[in-house]
Structure 1
Amino acid sequence: MSRSTIHLPARDVPVMGEYDVVVIGGGPSGVLAATAASRAGLSTLLIERYGFLGGAGTMGGLSTFCGLHARVHGEDKLVVHGYADELLDRLTALDGLNAPHLTIQDRLLAVSFDISAYKIAADELVLAGGAELLFHTSAVDVVMSDVDTIDGVIVESKSGRAAVRGRFFIDGSGDGDIAAWSGAPFERSPDLMYPSLMFRINGVDPVEAGEAWKTVQRLMEEAEAAGTHTFPRKKPIVRPQRNPLEWRANLTQLHNDDGSPVDGTDVHQLTRGEIQGRQQVKDTFAFIRDRTPGFQNSYVVDIAPQIGIRETRRINGLYQLTESDVLDCVDFDDTIGVNGWPVEAHVVGDVDFRFPGATDSRGFNQLPYRMIVPARVDNLFVVGRCASMTQGGQSSGRVTGPCFVMGQAAGTAAALALAGGTSAANVDVSALQAQLVKDGAYLGTDLPADVVPALA
């Protein structure tokens, strides 16, 4: 007779290491967290389930840094600094970084990069400070020493199951896995942001293609208006990479049979999303190749290793960054850096961009320290897209720039907490801000916040 569960007997697992700081997830926030913690002299381990770092930029095929810049009173400026500067310098030395390009209605800058170069640069950045890397390893559970303190994380790899002990933990998993397992409160929207599957096209004639990012969108809109084609979403992004023979494509949208977004915490939905995404790649690429000048001899050179998940769990921290905070370019006394990206909501069949409302906007909001501090669990920070934000706030704060900011702040704050024998919630914020500035970060305190006219 079949049973719905199988009992696993209890067993001891080996402790494979003990560290001051354990970072879970090697996306942009995890990379900067491990860098900051190790540069502060802490023994640091960064655990990553793939064989490389970079998060959505590499495993998701994004190949673009968004949110590093802001349009400050009409002038585009680089506003995310600190260890992110060193990462960009390392990418430049590898000839892996493009000049910034205008995107989203020509209202913001983004920076594309070579994915292979990013993998190398991220390795070098983290290792330069003395941190250790553990690839091909997934965190699967936590062990608590008491109700508010994590003792260790349980990991699985080809070497089997083991435990890693730490004094402080930084959850950069994207899905808030460590936070959820440790009992930190979190929330999920009933209407998640839709995921995408990125792909890259090679063999493009860049001279004939010209500004094909405009051509592709026009051709798709004309085909839909004529009723000959239906595409996964509007506002496609097709842009050249470091070598203009190669272009990246971001124009898929993944859903379940009922039209709901694929949930990145459900393995069955993830599987469906991968299969559906590859079919969308096949169909949309065929249209681009057959209709777009300069693409007639092109081919798909790479489909991202994983679909790009935009939203799952979001923790409830000491403060939730909101959409109004973003659109009103709000200041916070506990600022750890800034975010200049607009609200980017991936809704059914489209992407809805919302920008600050001030006529002459400062172009960025400050990010509060409290958004990376969970409402409970004393020795934990949560960074990246699973930090404490409403869905509207997360639709802006999940991109690379603010993730860099959160990561560096978390690694630095962990050092201060351990030095002072205190919890994440009781870190001296003024000392944290002083150290961040010393390490090159920009906190956005030199420009006044926007004054938004009251609605009639």
Structure 2
Amino acid sequence: MHLFMNEPSRETPVYGEYEVVVLGGGPAGIAAAVAAARAGRSTLLIERYGFLGGMGTAAGVTNFCGLHANVHGDIRQVVHGVADDLLSRIAHLGGLNEPHALFGKTVAQAYDTAAYKIAADDLMLAAGVRVLFHALAAGVAMDEPDRISALFIETKSGRRAVLGEAFIDCSGDGDLAAWAGVRFDKGDGRDSFLYPSTMFRLNGIDPVRAGKAWEVIPQLMLKAQAEGRYVFPRKTPIVRPQKSGIEWRVNLTQIANAEGNAMDGTDADELSEAEMIGRRQIAEVAGFMKEVPGFENSYIVDIAPQVGIRETRRVRGRYTLTESDVLDCASFDDTIGVNGWPLELHLKGDVEFRWPKIPESRGFNHLPYRMTVPETVDNLWIAGRCASMTHEAQSAARVTGACFVMGQAAGTAAHLALSADCAAVDVDVPALQASLESEGAYLGRTW
């Protein structure tokens, strides 16, 4: 059996040349591309699927987390800017719920995935972003060890090269940074990550009889398991209604490999196996859900297009956000926005939340610009769940709110770096902060 094959050399056609190239169309990529384009930069957003939204649509999350924080007992929205523009478009389409309470400490906000996709398209068109769908990134070309010149992509038209002056890695997996040789960490250091889940939605629910079903489902699970009728992948269920009360989202799967560790979303074989395991678990969970009052006639209306990955690579940056930064509500002089979500650790068999002191604390930590700037490579930024964080801190700042914050800051910083002809690390931070605030972002310097 051959271990390697030599590919013949070839000339790769150039797809285009852009000032800012953004990889990944999740919340970080959306915000980064909009910020750069609004600053007047020619901007290309590259997305592997035929729609935007990242895990929010491709993995069926259907729930914005981290837009709000519990500030001394007062729950308020703390992520603004590009996020507001997207939210207003989703709301205009009738696809945005009012925020709902979680654990009595914060809120999240459900949305319709179809409305999210349409709203994101509209936002791109309004900002002047060029979007390339169905394009899978495959590697980079380097001018020098510290500078990227091109991103290689695979498309239905064949392999292409995208030339750029500034690159923003919003891939979630840190793909672009890894290809560029930037150091990264994976998982908890003990061969495991935050466990993935496959999301699904049920229809046919009686909303009146279902009521606050999320309050009774845990007890029904314990009873069903004690009777030996079901074995659940994890203990803590997250089951909530969508905009229409007849449709609910279910987050109750947990996907492990043969060793019992979380599946690695950067391993092609494990990722493939995870898809089948997730659907198999969904079939079991959906059967149990029919025992919940109001869910007797429920049926699976949608299984997410892909397994929901919470953690893979975390790229090493100029600063690494830590667990204590989150729990102690840390402040940073180079703040680009805030994270108000607690630690949400998807551990073996359960989900563990760790909160700042509520209501004693202000309930959010600053996100420093330095966590979006890699150790090396002058014209690269990292934004989203692959940014520079520890395993524990990433469990908090991987959610939508923080991703919007990092993305908008990275797109704005790329514009400033091009204007000043400087490296990412040398961007004028006060100028960056002033620009972000002028675009409606909240940096958490007053509350």
TM-score (norm: length of structure 1): 0.96
Q: Using the alignment, how far apart are the partners of 1:119 and 1:320 within structure 2?
A: 32
Conserved? CA contact 1:343–1:392, under 8 Å: yes
3-state SS in 2 of match to 1:309: coil
**Count, aligned residues:** 444
Alignment correspondent of 2:443: 443
Q: Using the alignment, how far apart are the partners of 2:23 and 2:57 within structure 1?
A: 17
The answer to whether 1:237 aligns with 2:235 is no
Q: Using the alignment, how far apart are the partners of 2:146 and 2:394 within structure 1?
A: 26
3-state SS in 1 of match to 2:404: helix
The answer to whether 1:214 aligns with 2:215 is yes
Alignment correspondent of 1:314: 314
Alignment correspondent of 2:273: 272
3-state SS in 2 of match to 1:367: strand
- The one-letter code of the counterpart of 2:104 is D
3-state SS in 2 of match to 1:392: helix
In the TM superposition, what is the alpha-carbon distance from 1:5 to its structure 2 partner? 1.4
The answer to whether 1:139 aligns with 2:140 is no
- The one-letter code of the counterpart of 1:212 is A
In the TM superposition, what is the alpha-carbon distance from 1:258 to its structure 2 partner? 1.3
Alignment correspondent of 2:416: 416
Q: 1:358 to 1:201 in 2, by over 3 A?
A: closer
Structure 1 residues 268-307: aligned runs within 5 Å: 268-289=269-290, 291-307=291-307
Q: Using the alignment, how far apart are the partners of 1:430 and 1:150 within structure 2?
A: 26
Alignment correspondent of 1:3: 2
Conserved? CA contact 1:328–1:358, under 8 Å: no
In the TM superposition, what is the alpha-carbon distance from 1:357 to its structure 2 partner? 3.2
Q: Using the alignment, how far apart are the partners of 1:441 and 1:414 within structure 2?
A: 17
Q: 1:307-338: per-residue Cα shift (whole Å, max 9, x none)?
A: 00000100110000001000000000000000
In the TM superposition, what is the alpha-carbon distance from 1:361 to its structure 2 partner? 1.5
Q: Using the alignment, how far apart are the partners of 1:18 and 1:227 within structure 2?
A: 60
Q: Using the alignment, how far apart are the partners of 1:211 and 1:164 within structure 2?
A: 50
Conserved? CA contact 2:357–2:363, under 8 Å: no
In structure 2, list runs of 5 or more residues that go unmatched: none
Q: Using the alignment, how far apart are the partners of 1:45 and 1:358 within structure 2?
A: 42
Alignment correspondent of 2:381: 381
Conserved? CA contact 1:345–1:351, under 8 Å: yes
3-state SS in 2 of match to 1:70: strand
Q: Using the alignment, how far apart are the partners of 2:164 and 2:126 within structure 1?
A: 21
- The one-letter code of the counterpart of 1:412 is T
Q: 1:257-286: per-residue Cα shift (whole Å, max 9, x none)?
A: 110111000111011110010010000110
The answer to whether 1:188 aligns with 2:189 is no
Q: Using the alignment, how far apart are the partners of 1:38 and 1:260 within structure 2?
A: 41
Structure 1 residues 8-157: aligned runs within 5 Å: 8-103=7-102, 105-157=103-155
In structure 1, list runs of 5 or more residues that go unmatched: 448-456
Conserved? CA contact 2:314–2:389, under 8 Å: yes
Conserved? CA contact 1:29–1:405, under 8 Å: yes
Q: Using the alignment, how far apart are the partners of 2:381 and 2:356 within structure 1?
A: 29
Alignment correspondent of 1:174: 172
Q: Using the alignment, how far apart are the partners of 1:362 and 1:149 within structure 2?
A: 40
Q: 1:396-451: per-residue Cα shift (whole Å, max 9, x none)?
A: 0000000000000000000000000001000000000000000000000014xxxx
Alignment correspondent of 1:434: 434
3-state SS in 2 of match to 1:20: strand
In the TM superposition, what is the alpha-carbon distance from 1:135 to its structure 2 partner? 0.2
- The one-letter code of the counterpart of 2:47 is E
Structure 1 residues 333-348: aligned runs within 5 Å: 333-348=333-348
- The one-letter code of the counterpart of 2:49 is Y
3-state SS in 2 of match to 1:163: strand
Conserved? CA contact 2:25–2:54, under 8 Å: yes
Conserved? CA contact 1:338–1:405, under 8 Å: yes
In the TM superposition, what is the alpha-carbon distance from 1:235 to its structure 2 partner? 1.1
Q: 1:324-370: per-residue Cα shift (whole Å, max 9, x none)?
A: 00000000000000000000000000001000136512000000000
- The one-letter code of the counterpart of 2:137 is A
Q: Using the alignment, how far apart are the partners of 2:306 and 2:104 within structure 1?
A: 29
Conserved? CA contact 2:73–2:358, under 8 Å: no
The answer to whether 1:202 aligns with 2:203 is yes
3-state SS in 1 of match to 2:385: helix
Q: 1:130-150: per-residue Cα shift (whole Å, max 9, x none)?
A: 110000001100000111000
CA RMSD of aligned residues (A): 0.9
In the TM superposition, what is the alpha-carbon distance from 1:223 to its structure 2 partner? 2.1
Q: Using the alignment, how far apart are the partners of 1:125 and 1:3 within structure 2?
A: 48
Q: Using the alignment, how far apart are the partners of 1:208 and 1:188 within structure 2?
A: 44
3-state SS in 1 of match to 2:58: coil
Moved over 3 A (4+): 225-228
Alignment correspondent of 2:157: 159
Q: Using the alignment, how far apart are the partners of 2:409 and 2:150 within structure 1?
A: 22
Q: Using the alignment, how far apart are the partners of 1:50 and 1:106 within structure 2?
A: 36
Q: Using the alignment, how far apart are the partners of 1:284 and 1:358 within structure 2?
A: 33
3-state SS in 2 of match to 1:271: helix
Alignment correspondent of 1:453: none
- The one-letter code of the counterpart of 2:56 is G
- The one-letter code of the counterpart of 1:98 is N
Conserved? CA contact 1:52–1:135, under 8 Å: yes
In the TM superposition, what is the alpha-carbon distance from 1:224 to its structure 2 partner? 2.5
3-state SS in 1 of match to 2:115: helix
Conserved? CA contact 1:170–1:382, under 8 Å: yes
The answer to whether 1:360 aligns with 2:360 is yes
Q: Using the alignment, how far apart are the partners of 1:122 and 1:213 within structure 2?
A: 30
3-state SS in 2 of match to 1:385: coil
Q: Using the alignment, how far apart are the partners of 1:172 and 1:382 within structure 2?
A: 6
Q: Using the alignment, how far apart are the partners of 1:336 and 1:212 within structure 2?
A: 38
